[in-house]
Amino acid sequence: MSTVEIGGTHVTVEDVVAVARDGAAVGVASAVPERLRKAREVLDRVAAAGQRIYGLNTGLGANLGTSVECDASEFQRQLLHGRSGAVGDPLPIEVVRATMFARAAMLSRSGSGISPNVFDALVAALNAGVHPVMPSIGSIGAGDLVLMTALARCLIGEGDVDYRGGRLPASEALARAGLSQVSLAPKDGLSLINASAVSAGAGALAVADALSAFDQQQQAAALTMEATGANLTILDPRLQMARPAPGQAEAASQLRALLAREADPMPGTLQDPLSIRCIPSIHGALLNGIGQARRAVEIELNAAADNPLVLADDGLVLSTGNFHTPALALAFETLGLAIAQTAAATAARFIQLTGSGRNGLPKYLSPTGGASAGFVPLQKTVTAVLAAIRQKANPVMLDFLPVSEGVEDHATQTPLAIAKCAEMIALWRRLIAFELMAAAQAADLRDGELKDTVQKHQPLVLAPGTQAIHTAIRMHVSMLREDRPLGIDAETLYAALSSGKWQA
């Protein structure tokens, strides 16, 4: 089993994926224990000196002016109970693991003042596969604390967890895993929950999925370009240099590699429809959007975004707004729009491919003609998928109300922005499956096998890169020779694209 280290080198999106999906263990850098000890010492010393510290000797939210009169440690349990208000379907286990890893990575920076044994318990639970059942609805993006209470309660033996394929009480799962329940020192409960770890963890998984889908989209676009005899001069590096938009040169370079052959074919057209001619611009903008989302996620993964924040080297404990994530929400709203416009171009190319015989292809990509429906009924399905994507592209980060007596009068809706972006990626991948199917059919109709249906073009010989894509498609979906239920084929190909094992 591989190990991902936290508290030392820069934590990446790939590290989150390795832990959340691939089961990698979490290791802790050697410098972390001393950092945690020093920060805890500062927190205790400042509290003993009488400083009012939010969430340690004061209430939370609108109760910040109320002093904690009960035992400070018991108050930590009380604040967890009082904020366990999340509802809805549980988050998937991979998102829970991503959340646990994200919070551990943040805590390893030592800004929370968390007790070292509580930090160790979090890492141990993650490595043992003890996954709290975390309801999905309750955060408005001013920190994910309502969602995070399930994680904190798990470590003290409360709530339910998923463990080794079953669901059972946390206390029982911890015992089976050979782990002890922890006791919370002052501020430990708040340290566990007052962060945007759900947003950062789920955001990392969404970025990874967007990158995977982007590669598949490039493959679909390349096969479409070749199958339609598109003018490949649009990929010329000099054209990209003339307008050096972020991501555009890289997107064009990848497409050139997929379409590379010993001798470039003569273009079949002077200018193709915009959904083909502008692929470098469209895909470049998307690639830039994915990069922005990655940078925003990795800032959170490597930050001490706590409130209050312990500045151990300065011996200070200060209130902050570092838990707030407007930049993260904006990055995923932007990524969602970039996905939506890319998906719209994908749908447009599908309709170009499956229409009334453009580029010399038979009507509806049907080899039999006549009353055959071919691929044209799928235009309705493609349009329905695109409509769902467009609906989710509407921004949500401004949809909040002042809460907690006006103390919390701004929010970011980051978890919702990321969740709908993840849903858009899944829908977009369905459109990619449709385009791959149609492009492969177009290529087959051009390969000389069905000469009587295609009169205007020489038999098509695919480039090595696009031939590999075509071969991968045909491993899951056969050529359409007569009408059959293509929805079943689309589901099969979508499952292959979503499996994480697609190779072309």
Q: How far is CA 502 from CA 212, 213, 431, 433, in A?
A: 9, 10, 16, 12
Structural contact between residues 436 and 473, judged by C-beta atoms closer than 8 angstroms: yes
Identify the CA nearest to 80 among candidates 140, 183, 150.
150
Q: What is the pLDDT along the chain (504 residues), one digit of tens a residue?
A: 799 999 998 999 999 999 999 999 999 999 999 999 999 999 999 999 989 988 788 877 778 777 777 777 788 998 899 889 999 999 999 999 999 999 999 999 999 999 999 999 999 999 999 999 999 999 988 889 999 999 999 999 999 999 999 999 999 999 999 999 999 999 999 999 999 999 999 999 999 999 999 999 999 999 999 999 899 999 999 999 999 999 999 999 999 999 998 777 666 677 889 999 999 999 999 999 999 999 999 999 999 999 999 999 999 999 998 989 999 999 999 999 999 999 999 999 999 999 876 677 899 999 988 889 999 999 999 999 999 999 999 999 888 888 877 777 888 899 999 999 999 999 999 999 999 999 999 999 986 544 444 444 567 889 999 999 999 999 999 999 999 999 999 999 999 999 988 988
Length of the chain (residues)? 504
Q: Write down all domains in the chain, each with its CATH number in brackets.
A: 3-195 (1.10.275.10), 203-498 (1.20.200.10)
Q: How far apart are CA 227 and CA 222, in angstroms?
A: 9
* 308 prior amide bond cis, ω within 30: yes
Residue type (1 letter), 171: S
pTM of the model: 0.95
What does residue 161 show for φ and ψ, rounded to 5 degrees? Answer: -135, 160
Give residue 455's pLDDT. 45
Q: How far apart are CA 8 and CA 493, in angstroms?
A: 41
| Assigned token pair, 125 | 């639970």
Give residue 201's pLDDT. 98
Identify the CA nearest to 107 among candidates 12, 163, 40.
40
Q: State the DSSP code for 323.
A: T
Structural contact between residues 97 and 108, judged by C-beta atoms closer than 8 angstroms: no
Largest CA distance in the chain: 90
Label residue 294 exposed, middle or buried (CB < 10 Å: 0-12, 13-18, 19+).
Answer: buried
Structural contact between residues 186 and 54, judged by C-beta atoms closer than 8 angstroms: no
Structural contact between residues 400 and 380, judged by C-beta atoms closer than 8 angstroms: no
Q: State the DSSP code for 395.
A: -
Residue type (1 letter), 131: H
Query: Hunting for tokens 């950092």 — which residue is that?
Result: 35
| Assigned token pair, 415 | 């978890």
Give residue 448's pLDDT. 54
Within 10 angstroms of residue 12's Cβ, the number of other Cβ atoms is: 17
| Assigned token pair, 476 | 């899951």
How many Cα atoms sit within 13 Å of 200 on the Cβ side?
34
Give residue 454's pLDDT. 45
Give residue 458's pLDDT. 61
Q: How far apart are CA 142 and CA 148, in angstroms?
A: 12
Query: Hunting for tokens 């030392």 — which residue is that?
Result: 8
Q: How far apart are CA 65 and CA 77, in angstroms?
A: 19
